[in-house]
């Protein structure tokens, strides 16, 4: 059986207020062709289908249009929820989609067996079993009273993830003996490379799950959450497919891909590169250098290239800030758009609040980073800081969970 692994679609994503829906449409057209050319029978989508827990009506339409295009290829689909997704929203049409050979697991089921999906081949026999595990929320893994210290609570979360995967493995082993098994997951595995666009999960990623804890039962583990495609050092083949399109300027150099498995040959996937539909360009230099670099740009992509400008000058000069704003306002080169600009002055002394104000925009900051700056200024001992940070992380997880439960 041929299987295609992808993840982190983030439908509805805006990059500095710039809509990326055309990028996703082009990806789906390419994906349909890829599935046909490679005769893929099973498509796995490992979480973060949407960028927001309460996506816009346009994002939802784009999601269903994509599913219908894929369904027309006679390809089975298994889709799991990620930390950005609303479990209730994904699960709502589940019974209808199941009739179309699409299995959607937005939330961890009370009965873990309901996350285990047998997949039949063309012969009508079960050829594969998939443990479709979505993003595991704090509430899925521990009760509020467990763990006395911050590290205790992190360890409870790590053990909760491990027990979920081992429990799924045991069900596969018992109910489907001698049938190859594959697991899906959406989490942060220790040691992987991240980008700016990933939201902190499982208490600020400090509960990073060690890949050895997956166990050695599954033939392959299809992961989502990390946008940079990469292999995880684990007892069995374990991979992040990465996001199909760049979602932040930190991903501009990533080689986006999908992964294809041929179970008749091996469980090591083949990497299939995704075409570049638009470029993300980060251009730095003095004001004079920025003007020169912008003049020599050449476009050859399907969509407009997006530009992040950083003016770097030695001495502070308010006139140069004005000139940078003017450069943004007057820039009009076909095939290119400036979506962000900032000014950095090397010899300017800055306090913490000034540093944020001048070198970062509000949309760039993460709540945890701001909170860390705040408590760094207080005279707390290390134990007190850890307790305060633990309380903040739990509140942040609650906020994320509340966002995920909202429906229109």
DSSP string for 45-84? EES--BSSSS--HHHHHHHHHHHHHHHTTT-EEEEE--TT
Q: Is the same domain home to 192 and 294? A: no
In this prediction, residue 386 carries a pLDDT of 75
Residue 209 shares a structural domain with residue 73: yes
Within 72-137, residue ranges assigned H as helices are 87-91, 94-99
Whole-number Å distance between alpha carbons of 238 and 209? 13
Shared-domain flag, residues 322 and 252: no
How much is the pLDDT for 408? 45
CA–CA gap between residue 346 and residue 349 (Å, rounded): 8
Last residue of a domain, one of 210, 238, 273: 273
Is 389 among the domain residues? no
- Tell me what the mean pLDDT of segment 396-401 comes to: 72
- Evaluate whether residue 394 is within a structural domain: no
Same domain for 221 and 143: yes
Predicted confidence band at 204 (pLDDT cuts at 50, 70, 90)?
very low
Residues 331 and 188 in one domain: no
Give the pLDDT of residue 203: 43
3 state DSSP class of 43:
strand
Residue 21, pLDDT score: 96
Phi-psi group of 205: left, alpha or beta (phi > 0 → left; psi -120 to 50 → alpha; rest → beta): left
Decide if 211 is inside a domain.
yes
User: How far apart (Å, rounded) are the C-alpha atoms in residues 390 and 40?
Assistant: 45
User: For 100-219, where are the alpha helices, taking DSSP H only?
Assistant: 138-141, 150-175
Least confident of 81-95, 116-130, 346-360: 346-360
Asked if residue 366 is part of any domain, the answer here is no
66/210 Cα distance (integer angstroms): 34
What digits encode the pLDDT tens for the residues 16-55?
Answer: 989 999 999 999 999 999 999 999 999 999 999 999 999 9
Pair 192, 288 in one domain: no
CA dihedral of 395, 401, 404, 407, whole degrees rounded to 10: -90
- Residue-number span of the structural domain to which 341 is assigned: 280-348
Residue that finishes a domain, picked among 319, 348, 377: 348
**Higher pLDDT pick, 37 / 137:** 37
Nearest alpha carbon to residue 397 among 265, 197, 204, 196 = 204
Under 8 Å between Cβ of 390 and 157: no
- Residues 209 and 180: their CA atoms lie apart, in Å, by 24
Residues 196 and 331 placed together within one structural domain of the fold: no
Kindly indicate the confidence band of residue 193, based on its pLDDT and cuts at 50, 70 and 90. low
Number of domains in the chain: 2
Per the prediction, the chain carries an average pLDDT of 87
Mean pLDDT of 110-130: 93
Res 260 pLDDT > 90 = yes
Residue 126 has pLDDT above 90, yes or no: yes
Average confidence (pLDDT) over 159-170: 93
More confident residue, 147 or 351: 147
| Same structural domain, 86 and 151 | yes
Residue 329 lies in a domain: yes
238, 258, 273: which is the final residue of a domain? 273
User: pLDDT digit string (tens) for 320-367?
Assistant: 999 999 999 999 999 999 999 999 998 864 544 554 555 555 556 678
Residues 253 and 319 in one domain: no
- 268 lies in the same domain as 286: no
What's the token pair of residue 185?
Answer: 């997951």
- Specify the pTM: 0.81
* Rounded Cα gap, residues 11 and 63, in angstroms: 7
> 144: pLDDT confidence band, cut at 50, 70 and 90?
very low
One domain for residues 130 and 182: yes
* pLDDT bucket at 390, cuts 50 / 70 / 90: confident
Residue 140 above 90 pLDDT? Answer: no
DSSP 250: G
Nearest to 94 by CA among 82, 110, 78: 78
> 206 pLDDT band (50/70/90 cuts)?
low
Is the pLDDT at 397 greater than 90, yes or no?
no
CATH number at residue 264: 3.60.21.10
Whether 325 is in a domain gets the answer yes
Would you say residue 231 has pLDDT above 90?
A: yes
Residue 390 lies in a domain: no
Is residue 275 over pLDDT 70? Answer: yes
Look at residue 318 and give its three-state secondary structure: helix
Look-up of token digits 């763990």: 147
Q: Do residues 266 and 293 share a domain?
A: no
């Amino acid at each position: 059986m041929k299987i295609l692994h992808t993840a982190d679609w983030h439908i509805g994503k805006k990059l500095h207020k710039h809509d990326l829906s055309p990028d996703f449409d082009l990806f789906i057209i390419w994906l349909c062709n890829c599935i046909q050319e490679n005769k893929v029978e099973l498509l796995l989508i490992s979480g973060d289908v949407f960028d927001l827990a309460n996506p816009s009506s346009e994002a939802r339409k784009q999601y269903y249009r994509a599913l219908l295009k894929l369904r027309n290829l006679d390809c089975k689909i298994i889709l799991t929820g990620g930390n950005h997704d609303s479990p209730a929203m994904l699960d709502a049409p589940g019974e209808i989609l199941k009739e179309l050979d699409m299995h959607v697991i937005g939330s961890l089921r009370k009965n873990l067996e309901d996350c285990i999906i047998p997949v039949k081949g063309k012969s009508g026999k079960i050829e594969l079993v998939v443990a479709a595990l979505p993003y595991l929320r704090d509430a899925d893994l521990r009760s509020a009273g467990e763990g006395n210290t911050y590290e205790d609570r992190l360890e409870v979360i790590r053990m909760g993830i491990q027990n979920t995967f081992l429990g799924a493995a045991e069900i596969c082993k018992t109910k489907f003996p001698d049938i190859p098994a594959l697991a899906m997951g959406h989490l942060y595995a220790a040691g992987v490379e991240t980008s700016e666009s990933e939201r902190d999960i499982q208490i600020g990623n400090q509960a990073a799950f060690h890949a050895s804890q997956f166990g050695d039962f599954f033939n392959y583990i299809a992961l989502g959450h990390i946008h940079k495609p990469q292999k995880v050092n684990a007892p069995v083949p374990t991979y992040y497919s990465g996001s199909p399109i760049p979602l932040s300027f930190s991903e501009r150099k990533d080689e986006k891909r999908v992964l294809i498995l041929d179970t008749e040959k091996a469980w090591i996937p083949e990497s299939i590169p995704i075409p570049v539909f638009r470029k993300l360009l980060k251009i730095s230099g003095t004001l004079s250098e920025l003007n020169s670099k912008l003049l020599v740009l050449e476009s050859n992509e399907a969509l407009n290239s997006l530009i992040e400008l950083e003016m770097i000058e030695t001495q502070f000069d308010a006139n140069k800030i004005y000139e940078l704003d003017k450069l943004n306002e007057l820039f009009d080169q076909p095939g290119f758009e400036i979506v962000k600009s900032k000014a950095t002055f090397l010899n300017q002394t800055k306090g913490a609040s000034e540093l944020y104000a001048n070198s970062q925009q509000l949309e760039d900051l993460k709540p945890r980073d701001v909170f860390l700056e705040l408590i760094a200024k207080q005279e707390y001992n290390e134990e007190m800081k850890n307790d305060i940070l633990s309380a903040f992380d739990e509140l942040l997880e609650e906020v994320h969970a509340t966002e995920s439960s909202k429906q229109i």
